[in-house]
Amino acid sequence: MEARDTDILILGSGGAGLFAALHAHKAAPGASITVAVKGLLGKSGCTRMVQGGYNVALAPGDSIERHFMDTIEGGAWLCDQDLAWKLVKLAVERIRELENELGCFFDRNPDGTVHQKAFAGQTFDRTVHKGDLTGIEIINRLAEQVWSRKIARLEEHRAVELVKDASGKAIAGVLFIDMRTGQYVLVRAKAVLLATGGGPTMYRYHTPSGDKSCDGLAMALRAGLRMRDMEMVQFHPTGLLAGAHTRMTGTVLEEGLRGSGGYLLNGERERFMDRYDPKLERATRDIVSRAIFAEMRRGKTTPYGGVYISMAHLGPDRVRREFKGMVERCADCGFDLAGGLVEVVPTAHYMMGGVEFALDCSTALSGLYVAGEDSGGVHGANRLGGNGVANSTVFGAVAGDSMAAWIRGAQFSVPDKSLVEEAVARCERPFGRPPANLEALRERLYDVMWEKVGILRDAQGLAEAAGELAALDASLDEQGIGKAGRAFNLTWHDWLNLKSLVAVSRAICAAAAAREDSRGAHFREDFPERGPLESSAFTSIAADGRVLMKPVAFTRVRPGESLLKSAA
Ligand SMILES: Cc1cc2nc3c(=O)[nH]c(=O)nc-3n(C[C@H](O)[C@H](O)[C@H](O)COP(=O)(O)OP(=O)(O)OC[C@H]3O[C@@H](n4cnc5c(N)ncnc54)[C@H](O)[C@@H]3O)c2cc1C
């Protein structure tokens, strides 16, 4: 097995991974830093796919207190308040760094100030953007900066195990499969960042990039780390619905469409949001997704089985000008966004849940850090649109600074050989077994998660889902990929993807069964009440599937209070 050493090892090259690399390099210029990524650096992950933009309190009239309160209210009071405060405070620094040091160009007003647009669930228009393709601007500039520094890259290297030392208390390195050759690579590191970006691709309709299959979360569970808020899976209300024959189905039509005044119509072309929320189409994502799902259940659907979004009343020229990328995406699928109707369906978009972590991004495993969508606690029960990329860049930078400080006194640990051997054996399992119909297993996973662990849940459905997911895991273990070769064997990687997705689906299902109320993205038809905010608790799950309910610490503001009032 190939072996390498690096002081700092970063898993993933999204906003979190690349910011961590740049900050670690700045804070510890002599350290060896390696970014290892399942895809290509600069071309993979979801940060590149960010359309709408980046929330930050910049404008006069806005404030970090207001941004914070929107985040807490949006998160249904389940956020870790100190993490949320750090998010809103450091977002201001990060957006300045992106513009003034890293070279991003964001859209501007005629007076030269940064243009900030409306996003749902916010009391102030604070979303910074570059048209509706903001993520490409951010990731291209970050990637250029990383390429120009002495930062090593391991591309198309899939992390498969967080390898601890023999004590089991500290990280010693990470085991990878070099996807190009199919060989194993063991990288020892003093500090490791988990930034593989979560990604709820276990649902029939989903938005994240194809390289994301919850590998990081599955590895963290196996390593004994606790996850919080795993039941909180955000559905974006407006996934494009263009039929089962195209991968465009499920991809997101950005929130700015509703933010700027778009209407949702059911299959009978009636506007329906007034029956669900006074904020109409500008209600938060959870509310709008449930409303659409309810209309679908009533049978008021479009030809492909969803609802419509309509923008024409805003003026086709304006829509074409402001949402060029969205108009083109819809046109590719035969829809006219500017002047006609486009079919949409709620689509699994983001995981609020993830690894429990501290303010400096450290975890319970010494030397292991986490940032971005792999982490849990910043958004509580619901992430505001625009807070995702803020989260990954803010905490990626924090993690880079923390790891640079950590490695100063740290030594390399010796990887526990038995863990490496077990991990290799687990990965090798499908070789030589009779070829499976992985597509059929994936369809089973899609069905069970969409029907029973999706937008509406109840105890019976969740219990059935738990059984079906266990059976699915067992089926995967029995099925194989035949005698195929190892180099770029995408069937093998599909099998590994499914193993990760099923493991994390089981955690989502168990946390959803444990939460007997309805908050944010989690709605129980058998427990539709939100429950008292004062006694809010979050779920915390470990690999054994047991869920603890831990009280939320209201460290900055209590339910019923507001930082805005006390600031006034
Ligand atoms: C279509 C879309 C639109 C979005 N729009 C917005 C928006 O407008 N505003 C907003 O705030 N947020 C938005 N989001 C959410 C936002 O993209 C994410 O919150 C954020 O970018 C996640 O950053 P990250 O660095 O954690 O992960 P990512 O950017 O997803 O990066 C993950 C990285 O990990 C790598 N990886 C995965 N598995 C492995 C493995 N096993 N080994 C090694 N590497 C691995 C991937 O290849 C990738 O490089 C959007 C998401 C999507 C999907």
415 lines ligand 1 (CB under 6 A): no
Distance of alpha carbon 21 from alpha carbon 19, whole angstroms: 5
Burial 465-501 (b: 16+ CB within 10 A, else e): bbebbeebbeebeebbbeebebeebeebbbbbbbbbb
Structure tokens given for 211: 């390289």
Which string of DSSP letters, residue by residue, matches 224-236? Answer: T--EE-TT-EEEE
Report the distance separating Cα 388 and Cα 373, nearest Å. Answer: 8
Q: Average pLDDT per run of 10 along the chain, which is 568 residues long?
A: 97 98 97 98 95 93 97 96 98 97 96 90 92 93 97 98 97 98 98 97 95 97 98 96 92 88 97 95 89 93 97 97 92 96 97 98 98 98 95 98 96 97 97 88 96 96 98 93 87 96 98 97 97 97 96 97 73
Ligand 1 closest atom vs CA 134:
8
Whether the Cβ atoms of residue 255 and residue 285 lie closer than 8 Å to each other: yes
C-beta of 52 in contact with ligand 1 (< 6 A)? yes
Are the CB atoms for 477 and 421 separated by under 8 Å?
no
Catalytic residue status for 290: no
- Write the DSSP string, 100-134: IIS-----B-TTSSBPEE--TT-SS--EE-STT-H
pLDDT value of residue 483: 73
Torsion of CA 224, 229, 231, 237, to 10 degrees: -130
Instruction: Kindly provide the b/e burial profile for residues 30-50, where b requires at least 16 CB atoms within 10 angstroms of the residue's own CB.
Output: ebbbbbbbbbebbebbbbbbb
Q: State the helix-helix crossing angle for 490-514 and 438-452, rounded to 10 degrees.
A: 20
| Residue 565: predicted pLDDT | 67
Q: Which residue owns the Cα nearest ligand 1 atom 21?
A: 47
CB environment 175-203: b (16+ within 10 A), e (fewer): bbbbbeebebbbbbbbbbbbbbbbbbbbb
Determine the Cα–Cα distance for residues 300 and 127; give it in Å rounded to an integer. Answer: 33
- Residue 241 phi, psi (nearest 5): -120, 100
* pLDDT of amino acid 568: 42
Q: Among the options 25, 258, 457, 519, which is catalytic?
A: 258
Ligand 1 binding pocket mutation candidate from 161, 196, 258, 344 (most atoms within 8 A of CB)? 196
Side-chain half-sphere of 408: how many Cα atoms within 13 Å? Answer: 9
| CB 393 less than 6 A from any atom of ligand 1 | no
> Residue 212: is it exposed, middle or buried by C-beta count within 10 angstroms (0-12/13-18/19+)?
buried
Give me the phi and psi of 11, to 5 degrees please. -100, 110
Contact 240, 253 (CB under 8 A): yes
How far does residue 214's CA lie from ligand 1's centre (Å)? Answer: 11
* Cα–Cα dist 138/151, whole Å: 19
Q: Which atom of ligand 1 is nearest to the CA of 219?
A: 41
Q: Say if ligand 1 is within 6 A of residue 13 CB.
A: yes
Q: Which of 34, 40, 44, 374 is nearest to 186 (CA)?
A: 34
Residues 419 and 223: their CA atoms lie apart, in Å, by 10
How far, in Å, CA of 479 to CA of 432, rounded?
9
pLDDT value, residue 193: 98
Per annotation, catalytic residue among 236, 349, 429, 457: 236
User: 150 CB contacts (<8 Å, ≥6 apart)?
Assistant: 25
**Which one-letter amino acid corresponds to residue 246?**
T
State which of 19, 23, 46 you would mutate to test the pocket of ligand 1, scoring each by most atoms of that ligand within 8 A of its C-beta: 46
